[in-house]
Chains A and B, each alone.
Chain A
Amino acid sequence: MPTATHRAIDAVWRIESARLIAGLTRIVRDVAVAEDLAQDALVAALEQWPESGIPERPGAWLMATAKRRGIDALRRRVVLERKRELIGHELEILQQLDQPDLAARVNDVQDDVLGLIFMTCHPVLSREARVALTLRLLGGLSTPEIARAFLISEGTVAQRIVRAKRTLGEARVPFEVPGRDELDERLSAVLEVIYLVFNEGYAATAGEHWIRPALCSDALRLARILAALVPREPEVHGLLALMELQASRLRARVGPHGEPLLLADQDRARWDHLLVQRGLAALRRAEELSGALGPYALQAAIAACHAQARSVKETDWPRIVALYDGLAALTGSPVVELNRAVAVTMAFGPQAGLELVDSLAEDSALRAYHLLPSVRGDVLGRLGRLAEAREEFERAADLCDNQRERELLLSRAVACGV
């Protein structure tokens, strides 16, 4: 049972760790060393704060402690390796560590955090590595927390993080906010990582739980931070809008026994109206900042149609079809086409929808995708072709890895009644 002080230290760590690691990375130019120093400072806090109480400025305390550890480590190296002097860049780092914290000015700290985001989401890393490192260094999650979130072993997460830090070091990835010429590309890598985290919480790909709200919260927090740090980028607001709107439905998406509830069956009174308002506001910002909406903002605009509708029937389906047209043109994604087929079914009837679904049947990218037979089953059911619908739902269940979702698909198969 953690004491009150330990819980308070956890809270301070959650608030301060990203800024701390970011500030240290700027100075020591190595994210692995920076994280070690930050961890040393945390250990010192865990030792000292229960006695001394939490200092008035805990962030400054942690930074000062981490820097002192850094200086000690460098000096120790001089003593141990008497034969050699510290080389140029080590001396420079030592000097910087020894200086008063000039960078504590708000703007610099924010640039640091932004630099760290771009580093942990750097394209030189695999997607899995980016996700793990971002949650660890910016989300303040521990290795066991990340392991639990993604249903993988702690060892795997730890190894991923160690390798990722080594890769960043070996590739000499600079600690900086990318310039205009590569900003779009790098930013989209960041957005992808945030949305991956969110989606794993919103519709878990595996495991016994259908949603994991804590992961959605972590992703939302990262997106809110990013939107505040780069306020002029429309797609950042687009992604934030999309996630706020999707999260507004989170608690309505699960039934009393943990089973998933489809949009049509959700109690719309249980949607989170504060998040709906925040989502709509973020979408307006994205629209103000850009002439043509990007893929995230378009998806947010679709989510906004649902958020503003009182029921499935009263939803503006033709507008949703039009938005999907735009999205399909931008992404060329067969998954988007499949979603478009659903909207077409609702707007123009199941026959039109079925033609679209069938045109996707040969797409290799969708071959193992459980939602293709699931959508086909739904459309066939609407056409009264129940025996075929049942087969499709059963096929979808076979392809689905999430237990809760599989149960839903099987119950839909049974409901076909043939």
Chain B
Amino acid sequence: MRFMVLVPGSPESEAGEMPSTEVLGAMTKYNEELVKSGVMLAGEGLHPTARGAKVRFNGSERTVIDGPFTEAKELVAGYWVWECASREEAIEWLKRAPFGGGVEIELREIFDADDFGEQLTPELREANERLREQAAEN
């Protein structure tokens, strides 16, 4: 089973401030453990929303909204992708992460292509494939 762990932003991450050496050290140690336990498949930090954008969809209208966005705690500042045998295992790993100060970290199970079942028709699969091919060429 694959999981995504979403790390929320903070005023500091939004200001583009790097965490202290101590915090970075603890996080590096934690990441090392994840890798050395064969759990971590991917993980990245995200730049502040000041460098991002939103696109609002309304009928055929598209409105681009430049960052930064408000409500830092609802923003994503980083993520991991984990492979675990169960939801419980993912929770056990998350409990060991070096966070504090009341922060809440969200754990979500990633859809398997098979979870889409009938909804993903052969035509849609084929369309997906074409898109991936184009993405690979670019």
Q: Tell me the A residues contacting B by CB distance below 8 Å.
A: 4, 7-8, 10-12, 14-15, 58, 106, 110, 217, 220-225, 228-229, 251, 267-270, 273-274, 278, 308, 310
- B86 to A, closest residue via Cβ: A11
The distance in angstroms between the C-alpha atoms of A355 and B95, with both chains bound, is 60
- Cβ contacts under 8 Å, A10 to chain B: 86, 88
Decide if A106 touches B29 in the complex (CB within 8 Å). Answer: yes
Say if the beta carbon of B69 comes within 8 Å of chain A: no
Report chain A residues within 8 Å CB of B55: none
- Would you give 29 A-B contacts (Cβ < 8 Å), ordered by A? A4-B88, A7-B86, A7-B88, A8-B92, A11-B86, A11-B88, A12-B92, A14-B85, A14-B89, A15-B89, A58-B92, A106-B29, A110-B36, A217-B85, A220-B38, A221-B38, A222-B38, A223-B38, A225-B38, A228-B32, A228-B35, A251-B113, A267-B125, A269-B125, A270-B125, A274-B42, A308-B136, A310-B133, A310-B136
**Assembly CA distance A251 to B2 (angstroms):** 14
Task: Check B83–A217 contact: CB distance below 8 A.
Answer: yes
B36 contacts A229, CB within 8 Å?
yes
| Distance (whole angstroms) from the CB of B98 to the closest CB of chain A | 13
Are B114 and A251 within 8 A (Cβ)? yes
Q: Are A228 and B38 closer than 8 Å at their CB atoms?
A: yes
**Closest CB of chain A to B28's CB: distance in Å?**
11
B93 within 8 Å of A by Cβ? yes
Secondary structure of the A contact surface, majority rule: helix
Q: Which of A11, A225, A268, A310 contacts B36 (CB 8 A)?
A: A225
- How many angstroms between the C-alpha atoms of A29 and B126 in the bound complex? 57
**In the complex, number of A-B residue pairs with CB atoms less than 8 Å apart:** 69
Contact call A274/B41, Cβ cutoff below 8 A: yes
Q: Which of A110, A222, A269 contacts B128 (CB 8 A)?
A: A269
Which residues of chain B from 66 to 101 have a CB within 8 Å of any chain A CB?
Answer: 81, 83, 85-86, 88-89, 91-93
Give bound CA distance, A310 to B129, whole Å. Answer: 9
B20 at the binding interface (Cβ < 8 Å): no
**Complex CA distance for A308 and B37, rounded to whole angstroms:** 28
Looking at B88, B128, B129, the one whose CB has the most chain A CB atoms below 10 A away is: B88
List A contacts of B54 (CB < 8 A).
none
Q: Which of A4, A229, A267, A308 has the most CB of B within 10 A?
A: A267
Interface membership of B108, Cβ < 8 A: no
Instruction: Spell out B's residues near A (CB within 8 Å).
Output: 29, 32-33, 35-39, 41-42, 81, 83, 85-86, 88-89, 91-93, 112-114, 125-126, 128-129, 132-133, 136
Q: How far is the CA of A14 from the CA of B1 in the complex (A)?
A: 14
Is the CB–CB distance between B37 and A11 below 8 Å?
Answer: no
By a CB distance below 8 angstroms, the chain A residues around B93 are 15
Measured in the bound complex, the distance between the Cα atoms of B35 and A247 in whole Å is 18
User: Chain B residues with Cβ under 8 A from A270's Cβ?
Assistant: 113, 125
Which B residues touch A217, using CB under 8 A?
Answer: 83, 85
Complex: A358 Cα to B36 Cα, angstroms: 47
A228 touches B36 (CB 8 A): yes
Q: Which residue of B lies closest to A58 (CB)?
A: B92
In the bound complex, CA of A268 to CA of B136 (Å): 13
A100 CB, min distance to chain B CBs, angstroms: 20
Contact partners of A310 in chain B: CB under 8 A:
133, 136
CB distance from B112 to the nearest CB of A (A): 7
What residues of B have a CB within 8 angstroms of the CB of A223 in the complex?
38
CB closest residue in chain B, given A228: B36
Chain B residues near A224 (CB-CB < 8 A): 35, 38
B32 pairs with A106, CB closer than 8 A:
yes
Instruction: Provide the residues of chain A in CB contact with B88, threshold 8 Å.
Output: 4, 7-8, 10-11
Please state if B37 and A15 are interface contacts (CB–CB under 8 Å). yes
Contacts of B37 in A (CB 8 A): 15, 225
| A8 adjacent to B91 (CB under 8 Å) | yes
Question: Is A268 within 8 A of B129, CB to CB?
Answer: yes
A-B pairs, 3 with minimum CB distance: A269-B129, A224-B38, A11-B88
Question: Which of A11, A225, A269 sits near B126, CB closer than 8 Å?
Answer: A269
| CA gap between A10 and B85 in the complex, in Å | 10
Q: B93 → chain A, closest Cβ, in Å?
A: 7
With CB as the reference atom, state the residue of chain B lying closest to A5: B88
In the bound complex, CA of A224 to CA of B35 (Å): 7
For B38, list chain A residues within 8 Å (CB): 220-225, 228
Please report the C-alpha to C-alpha distance between residue A269 and residue B116 in the assembled complex, in whole angstroms.
14
- When distances are taken between beta carbons in the complex, the residues of chain B under 8 Å from A273 are 132
Chain B residues contacting A12 (CB-CB under 8 Å) are 92
B122 to chain A, nearest CB (A): 8
CA distance A273 to B42 in the complex (A): 12
CA distance A224 to B133 in the complex (A): 28
